[in-house]
Structure formats: structure tokens, C-alpha cells
Amino acid sequence: MNNNDNWEEDEEDDEEDMEFSRNYFLAKELTSSVKKSKHKITDIDVVDEQELRDASLQIQPKHENEIAVLIDSYTSMYPEWLLSLRCGFALLMYGFGSKKALIEDFASTTLTEYSVVVINGYLQAINLKQVLIALAELLCDQLKAKRKVSGRQPFNTQSMEDLLTFLYEAEVEDTDSFVCVVIHNIDGPGLRDSETQQYLARLASCTHIRIVASIDHVNAPLFWDKNMAHTQFNWCWYHVPTFAPYKVEGMFYPLILAHGSASQSVKTAAIVLQSLTPNAQSVFKVLAEYQISHPDEGMPISDLYSVCRERFLVSNQVTLNSHLTEFKDHELVKTKRQSDGQDCLHIPLTTDALQKVLLEIS
């Protein structure tokens, strides 16, 4: 190849570069001349949130028969899931659709011999310490039955570290005995910070604690390092797409194309209560009826316990506390300190709204 050939090639490259530059600036000029839209997202005519939710409920489900067959196939796996728990594994359910009903069915039909504590991770805020206190009290009751524990400092005055230490060191004779912690949406907004995940991982490593959890976010596994996933949680993964709508979970997220209404709080409270156990609903009714009769004062916790015990709704204070924790997590009930220093319970709804809630859940 001679020098003339090299010069011709360089000239061709320069022409290509110049052509590219001309096309680039021409495209920029054309783009800037296009009329931009003046529409804004605030110009969207939003509708009432309850109206939008009601419309979404009218959507007819599809492939019901196929989904029923799919759910039946999961039901046949219940013995395998129970065996995994007995072998020391934790269960992690993933796949498209809400797993809430599936996990609760598994717990109510297969875990009848074990104590079960539920954490609703889809809530905006979770009181994890209250969960640890409830677990510690359950294990303590088992130890007292075996006469293996003496008087100790009340659990509600202990730190998170002390509670985890007690749960880790608790010695129960029956090696097959454990308390199951059901966590709906362990990747939910109230649980996804690093510190909470560390606490849950340490809880899962306790000998007499088993975790059954669900995840929905594609990046949820990034919460855990190798030690947390394989040693502390010791996950056993199950792909269980249910294609079920996220009805309960979605109630706590505002709809983009809707604004709230006065009736929305009533509907939200009713839907949450309907997702709870009949006993929890009855306890709420006792509190609601008291507030309707005494609109200007809260109900003392001791009075609520006395009434619930008389009606055989709870057998001990621990059971009542677990219901109250669930109410507080769902923001159905708040605690008020009276002038005499006594803690009283109050439902943040008007009397009319309370009456409507009672009608809804009846």
C-alpha cells in the first residue's frame, strides 16, 4: 500500500465524521423546534379513592379453575413444608400474587400443634420489640409448664439484645417443639431496613423459632448476605405463584389516580378487621362499643381485659396484648395517657364511623 492509498482512506474517514456531525446537529435542531406538551400530571381529573377501589373489585377474575388446581397442588405440599420446619429450615415463599391466604391456610391447618405469631410486613411501621416480647412470653409459658424457669425480670422492660439472648438460650425438652413466626412480606416497608433484617436473621437462628415468610420484590434477596441466607435464616425456597390480588396489602398504599374520602377510613378499618381472627374482631367490638357509650374517654386496658375474660374472648393478658399489638400496627387503636397516669385505649374514628365499621364486620 502506498502513501496515496493512506491519504484516500483518511479523507474518507474525515468525510464520515463530518457527515455524522451534520446529522447530529440537524437532529438537535429538529427536536428543539417540536412543540412541547403543556399537560401536567396535576391536570389529571382524579376520582374518589373508594369509587376507584369499588370499581377494581368489580373486575371479574380469570382462569379461576386453573388457579384452583394450582392452589390444590400447593396444599398437597403442606406435609413437605412441615417436615422442612421440623428439620430446622425456614420457608420463603415467592412468586406472582399475594401469598397471604396460602400461608395462613397452611398455618391454620398444618401448624395446629404449634404456637404461631404473625407479622404483617406490608404495614408502614412494625413494632418488632413487641413481637419478641410475645415470643419470649410464649416460650416462658412452656418453660414454666416444665418447671424450668423461676421469677425473672418482666420482658417488656428488657432490651432487644436481652430478649434475643433469652430466645436463643431457652431450653425446651421437646426438640420438635417450636414457635412459628409468619411474616407476610418480609420485604415490606416496615421491615426492609438493614437493622431489622439483622434482628430477624438472629431470631430465625434461635433453636425453637421457625420462620415462614413471603417476598414480592424482585430485589428482596439482596437484603441478606451468604451467612444470613444460608446459616441464620436457613431458607428453603418455594416458588408458589398464586395470581391472587394484593387486596389487604394494597389497602395501605394510596392509589395514584385517586384522592381519599371520609368514608375511606371506615372501609379500610373494616377490611383490615375482616382479615383478622374472629376473636380479634370481638375484642375490637368490645372496645368500639365502650367508646360509643363513652365518647369523651378512653377504655382502660384493665377494664378491657376484664370484659374480654368474662366473655371468654381471651384467657390471659398475653393473648390480649397480642391482639392490641395487631390493632396498633394497623393503626386501628391508639394509647392515651390519662391525667391520673393510667393508659387508656382509643379508636381514632368518630362515633358515626365506628358504628359503620361495626355494621361492616357484622
Q: Are residues 120 and 228 in the same domain?
A: yes
State which amino acid sits at residue 185.
Answer: N
User: Has residue 118 been placed in a domain?
Assistant: yes
Q: Are residues 92 and 211 in the same domain?
A: yes
Tens of pLDDT, residue by residue over 338-348, are 777 778 898 88
Q: Are residues 299 and 319 in the same domain?
A: yes
User: Has residue 137 been placed in a domain?
Assistant: yes
Q: Answer yes or no: is pLDDT of 285 > 80.
A: yes
Report the predicted TM-score, pTM, of the whole model to 2 decimal places: 0.62
pLDDT at position 104: 94
User: Has residue 26 been placed in a domain?
Assistant: no
Q: Domain ends where: 204, 238, 258?
A: 258
What CATH number is given to the structural domain containing 201? 3.40.50
User: Has residue 143 been placed in a domain?
Assistant: yes
Instruction: Provide the number of structural domains found in the chain.
Output: 2
Tens of pLDDT, residue by residue over 120-143, are 998 877 888 888 998 988 888 777
Q: Are residues 239 and 91 in the same domain?
A: yes
3-state secondary structure of 277: coil
Q: Domain ends where: 258, 286, 319?
A: 258
> Both ends of the chain: CA-CA distance in Å?
94
DSSP letters along 119-184, please?
EETTSS---HHHHHHHHHHHHHHHHHHTT-------GGGS-HHHHHHHHHH---S-TT--EEEEEE
User: Has residue 28 been placed in a domain?
Assistant: no
Tens of pLDDT, residue by residue over 19-72, are 766 666 666 555 544 444 444 445 556 566 667 777 777 888 888 899 999 999
User: Has residue 57 been placed in a domain?
Assistant: no
Q: Are residues 226 and 277 in the same domain?
A: no
Residue entry with cell 396444599: 75
Q: Are residues 188 and 233 in the same domain?
A: yes
Q: Domain ends where: 209, 231, 258?
A: 258
Query: 243: exposed, middle or buried (C-beta count within 10 Å: 0-12, 13-18, 19+)?
Result: middle
C-alpha cell at position 151: 421469677
Q: Are residues 217 and 343 in the same domain?
A: no
pLDDT at position 55: 77
Q: Are residues 243 and 280 in the same domain?
A: no
Tens of pLDDT, residue by residue over 69-98, are 999 999 999 999 999 999 999 999 999 999
Q: Are residues 86 and 219 in the same domain?
A: yes
Pairwise pLDDT comparison (61 vs 16), residue with the higher score = 61
Q: Are residues 238 and 305 in the same domain?
A: no
Best-predicted range by mean pLDDT (36-40, 111-115, 249-253, 348-352): 111-115
Q: Are residues 251 and 272 in the same domain?
A: no
Q: Are residues 208 and 333 in the same domain?
A: no
| Residue 197: domain span | 64-258
Distance CA 73, CA 69 (A): 6
Which of 4-13, 92-101, 219-228, 282-291 shows the lowest per-residue confidence on average (mean pLDDT)? 4-13
Residue entry with cell 416460650: 139
pLDDT at position 89: 95
User: Has residue 103 been placed in a domain?
Assistant: yes
User: Has residue 55 been placed in a domain?
Assistant: no
